[in-house]
Chains A and B, each alone.
Chain A
């Protein structure tokens, strides 16, 4: 299966700062998604973004499929952005998504 690398593994920010999280794939990926797991463990879909750019409020994501990476931008970070951010994708005809190990984000007030 594909390998998914996320960077950085850990990130500490002051409230109001901007950040960029990266996801690299070892092969062409379909159905690329970003998720947020809050400190209480709840998993939330952020973006389905196989290619191109999407924005949702302070968050935006860009996937460059030909270069096998995706970026998640968080602007004007808030303490509620804390948690772990995962990217995941499938390859070929597989229905089984491969998740990265996540980026753990802590936003201090």
Chain B
């Protein structure tokens, strides 16, 4: 079955712009989580959505937001981009029982110039 699909794979944006990243979870997975990966801070949790509701949020400024659609696809948005937002953004989906673990997509590499 298809894995977690993230689009686009690469993005280059200018400071001050905004960006939207997309994630399509595995069919049947209703939970979608987002993580930011940087060399300095490592992997950090952004937020998690389930049935179109944000259930959990990490310690990121309000410039980072997300949403989930009725088909479980999710988007995250970053407004007023800063150089420090350059990172690999990873999306993960899981079934209701997380004992099966989380399946990650290949990520979107965002570069802010």
Partners in one complex: no
